């Protein structure tokens, strides 16, 4: 019987892969936030990124490469993904901002390259969940394709944490990622906001803190990542569960719908807004 060669990490690259954050227009720190945004945009333009005017979720602004900044009546929003997200976090994010999404990831180049990493992780996650060892057990799903693609999902898109392990080489079709797999955690709202604070204030380098957080989360689900953790002690923060469905719906109406409705009514579309919402027409021309 042939000896089994253990798979080890040849190289690991931790990074922030997505950041969506907002702050209020009346925030006393808003001018300094905006100045950092302008400085960051200037660097992106100097590096050859094109800029265009666009909008997202009621925020009107501009997009430079993958970096978007927008404004609406209640405040400002920054959204950035990919390789630009990590420097954007270090340059722009400050505690006090609300982070609605934060992706932390560790890309690992394996030695030797192995296609079994995903299946082994799937088996470990299922065993840990069935045995009751997994902390805060979550839904486990996976996807396979005939070209060697594989993705293991823990949690759902709507979960506080939506974790993914996938074959980065196949997903990217880029020779740079030959033999690479990516461990990723997509964090939402309170979990994203509080984890961002922990990462910002960590006494350890950001990359080490990300490694620790990602490693600890996957390990808690029964999957031991193929990269070393660090002594930073940083973990993904799981605050108490957010409000009820009704409270979340009301919050969404206030933060997402209200600014758009106000803008349309100011433009003279009050009757059409009320009709679209299924509300009776009002003679006052405004909502109470």
- In this structure, the answer to whether residues 167 and 49 fall within a common structural domain is yes
Contacts of 279 (CB under 8 A, 6+ apart): none
Asked, for residue 233, whether it belongs to a domain, the answer is no
Per-residue pLDDT of the chain (288 residues; tens, 9 = 90+): 344 557 776 889 999 999 999 999 999 999 999 999 999 999 999 999 999 999 999 999 999 999 999 999 999 999 999 999 999 999 999 999 999 999 999 999 987 767 789 999 999 999 999 999 888 889 999 999 988 899 999 999 999 999 999 999 999 999 999 999 999 999 999 999 999 999 999 989 999 999 999 999 999 999 999 998 877 778 898 876 555 455 556 665 665 567 667 767 777 878 887 777 777 765 443 333
- In this structure, the answer to whether residues 22 and 116 fall within a common structural domain is yes
- In this structure, the answer to whether residues 267 and 205 fall within a common structural domain is no
Sign of the four-CA dihedral 105, 255, 63, 21: negative
Q: Total structural domains in the chain? A: 2
- In this structure, the answer to whether residues 177 and 266 fall within a common structural domain is no
- In this structure, the answer to whether residues 144 and 72 fall within a common structural domain is yes
Q: Could you tell me which of 205, 148, 167, 179 has the C-alpha nearest to residue 10? A: 179
3-class DSSP string for the chain: CCCCCCCEEEEEEEEEEEEEEEEECCCCCHHHHHHHHHHHHHHHHHCCCCEEEEEECCEEEEEECCEEEEEECCEEEEEEEHHHHHHHHHHHCCECEEEEEEEEEEEEEEECCCCCHHHHHHHHHHHHHHHCCCCCCCCEEEEECCCCCEEEEECCCCCCEEEEEEEHHHHHCCHHHCCEEEEEEEEEHHHHHHHHHHHHHCCCCHHHHHHHHHHHHHHHCCCCCCCCCCCCCCCCCCCCCCCCHHHHHHHHHHHHHHHHHHHHHHCCCHHHHHHHCCCCCCCCCCCC
Residues forming beta bridges with residue 182, ordered by sequence position: 107, 166
**What would the two tokens of residue 187 be?**
């964090």
- In this structure, the answer to whether residues 38 and 163 fall within a common structural domain is yes
Asked, for residue 212, whether it belongs to a domain, the answer is yes
- In this structure, the answer to whether residues 117 and 152 fall within a common structural domain is yes
Asked, for residue 117, whether it belongs to a domain, the answer is yes
Q: Could you tell me which of 7, 14, 36, 42 has the C-alpha nearest to residue 23? A: 36
- In this structure, the answer to whether residues 252 and 214 fall within a common structural domain is no
Around Cβ 217, how many Cβ atoms within 10 Å? 24
Separation of alpha carbons 164 and 184, rounded Å: 5
pTM for this prediction: 0.81
Asked, for residue 225, whether it belongs to a domain, the answer is no
- In this structure, the answer to whether residues 277 and 206 fall within a common structural domain is no
Q: Could you tell me which of 180, 175, 182, 185 has the C-alpha nearest to residue 216? A: 185
Per residue in 154-196, pLDDT (tens digit) is 999 999 999 999 999 999 999 999 999 999 999 999 999 999 9
Give the rounded percent of residues in the chain with a pLDDT score beyond 90: 68
Which residue segment(s) compose the domain that 259 sits in?
243-288
Asked, for residue 105, whether it belongs to a domain, the answer is yes
Asked, for residue 62, whether it belongs to a domain, the answer is yes
């Amino acid at each position: 019987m042939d000896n089994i060669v253990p798979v080890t990490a040849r190289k690991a690259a931790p990074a922030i892969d997505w950041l969506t954050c907002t702050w209020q227009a009346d925030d006393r720190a808003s001018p300094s936030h905006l100045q950092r945004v302008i400085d960051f945009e200037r660097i992106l333009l100097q590096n050859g990124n094109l800029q265009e005017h666009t909008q997202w979720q009621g925020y009107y602004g501009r997009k430079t490469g993958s970096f978007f900044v927008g404004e609406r009546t209640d405040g400002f929003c920054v959204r950035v993904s990919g390789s630009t997200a990590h420097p954007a976090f270090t340059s722009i994010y400050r505690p006090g901002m609300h982070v609605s999404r934060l992706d932390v990831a560790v890309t690992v180049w394996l030695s030797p390259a192995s296609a079994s990493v995903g299946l082994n992780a799937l088996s470990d996650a299922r065993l840990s969940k069935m045995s009751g060892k997994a902390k805060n057990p979550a839904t486990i799903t996976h996807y396979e394709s005939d070209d060697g693609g594989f993705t293991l999902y823990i949690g759902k898109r709507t979960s506080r944490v939506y974790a993914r392990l996938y074959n980065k080489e196949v997903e990217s079709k880029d020779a740079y990622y030959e033999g690479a797999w990516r461990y990723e955690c997509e964090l939402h709202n309170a979990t994203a906001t509080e984890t961002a604070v922990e990462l910002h204030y960590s006494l350890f380098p950001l990359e080490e803190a990300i490694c620790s957080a990602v490693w600890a989360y996957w390990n808690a689900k029964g999957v031991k990542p193929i990269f070393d953790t660090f002594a930073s002690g940083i973990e993904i923060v799981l605050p108490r569960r957010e409000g009820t469905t009704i409270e979340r719906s009301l919050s969404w109406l206030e933060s997402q719908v209200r600014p758009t409705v106000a803008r349309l009514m100011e433009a003279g579309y009050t009757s059409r807004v009320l009709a679209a919402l299924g509300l009776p027409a009002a003679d006052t021309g405004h909502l109470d």
